[in-house]
Amino acid sequence: MATLKDGSTKVLLTGGTGYIGSHTAVTLLEAGHDVVLVDNLSNSKPVVVDRLEAITGRRPVFHEGDLTDKAFISEVMQNEAPDAVVHFAGLKAVGESVEEPLRYYETNLVSTFNLCNAMIDAAVHQLVFSSSATVYGIPEQVPMREDDSITTATNPYGSTKLYIEQILTDLAHARPEMRIALLRYFNPAGAHESGTIGEDPNGIPNNLLPYITQVAVGRRQELTVNGDDYPTPDGTCIRDYIHVTDLAEGHSAALSHLAEHAGLHTYNLGTGNGSSVLEVVRAFERATNMHIPYQVGPRRAGDIDASFTDPAKAARELGWTAEKDLLDICRDAWRWQQQNPQGYEDD
């Protein structure tokens, strides 16, 4: 990374109080970087900033505001003049994106336009973008590789990721001074080992791990397994669950890579290991000594049978591989849920 006089770097995180942003903030603060968080708090809580300070002993700067407000992000960018930006902010609920496509396209695309224009105006040239394995749509093969085709998405949320990848690719071509990393996350899960920051979904969780931890803590009666008639060994869908602190390290590795390499770089961030829904349930039971009651329900619309990465490119070029396994994910997700039964509402 480009460095400040004292050897550190200032990194601005949009969506920085959110789930993945907050864990990345810990990694960067602990590595000695200055961290600036920007978030409109539409899906996160301000208490996250206190928790980051408690974990790291350093308080990140926080600007509350909306990236769709051009004047707001321009002013923050001019005043903070960071060395690099990681762009997490956006709406991410797949089902909601089907119900409200315009809100999803508008928020995710306009935010990115405003951010990129603000960066260009302030001569900030390094950008890491939160993309998703969802850009592979129905994958042509597993494991998925970065050069697989990404021409269709199965929902408007996924389309916003595809379009933003295309926009950033065009920007990198048009402006050789821009250095951009597109990080395609597989299934982020788990929490910081302190149990003080974690994933805090609104309402009924869509994702598997938060649903399981809410069953374990007594907020939900039982898990519904969405179909057991897929062409997989136990009939349930296979995903590549990656510990959120490993993912945070992946961002740090991508920032270091951008400091040394011009142009556009695309990486899948996952473990390379696929686990079925029932394997996750069993791993959680093993990690926590708890019983997770479940029933098998119908398939969920839009689910693909298997998704996991070939992690070779990130290992080769970034020197990054995921270190934690499914048991670590389950243990840490449970510690977070146990210490915060109602999420950040407990504070």
Active site residues: 157
Report the candidate in 262, 228, 240, 205 with the shortest Cα–Cα distance to residue 2: 262
The interface partner of residue 252, options being ligand NAD, ligand UFG, none and the CB cut-off 5 to 8 Å by kind, is none
Query: CB under 6 A: which stretch of 64-72, 74-82, 206-214, 242-250 binds ligand UFG?
Result: 206-214
Q: Give dist(CA 40, CA 222) in Å, integer.
A: 33
Q: Could you tell me the smallest distance in angstroms from the CB atom of residue 94 to ligand NAD?
A: 10
With respect to ligand UFG, which residue has the nearer C-beta, 80 or 96?
A: 96
Q: Give dist(CA 138, CA 131) in Å, integer.
A: 16
Query: CB under 6 A: which stretch of 14-22, 39-47, 59-67, 219-227 binds ligand UFG?
Result: 219-227
Q: Give phi and psi for 18, each to the nearest 5.
A: -75, -175
Q: Give dist(CA 238, CA 279) in Å, integer.
A: 9
Do residues 150 and 179 touch, judged by C-beta distance below 8 A? no
Interaction between residue 273 and ligand UFG (CB under 6 A)? no
The interface partner of residue 226, options being ligand NAD, ligand UFG, none and the CB cut-off 5 to 8 Å by kind, is ligand UFG
Interaction between residue 225 and ligand UFG (CB under 6 A)? yes
With respect to ligand NAD, which residue has the nearer C-beta, 41 or 61?
A: 41
Interaction between residue 168 and ligand UFG (CB under 6 A)? no
Per-position x/- string for 120-139, each x denoting binding to ligand UFG as judged by CB under 6 A, each - no binding: ------------xxx-----
Do residues 217 and 284 touch, judged by C-beta distance below 8 A? no
Q: Give phi and psi for 105, each to the nearest 5.
A: -60, -45
Do residues 198 and 289 touch, judged by C-beta distance below 8 A? no
Given 211, 267, 308, 336, the residue binding ligand UFG (CB under 6 A): 211
Do residues 299 and 236 touch, judged by C-beta distance below 8 A? no
Given 172, 242, 277, 329, the residue binding ligand UFG (CB under 6 A): 277
Residues that bind ligand NAD (CB under 6 A): 15, 17-21, 39-44, 66-68, 88-92, 107, 111, 130, 132, 185, 188
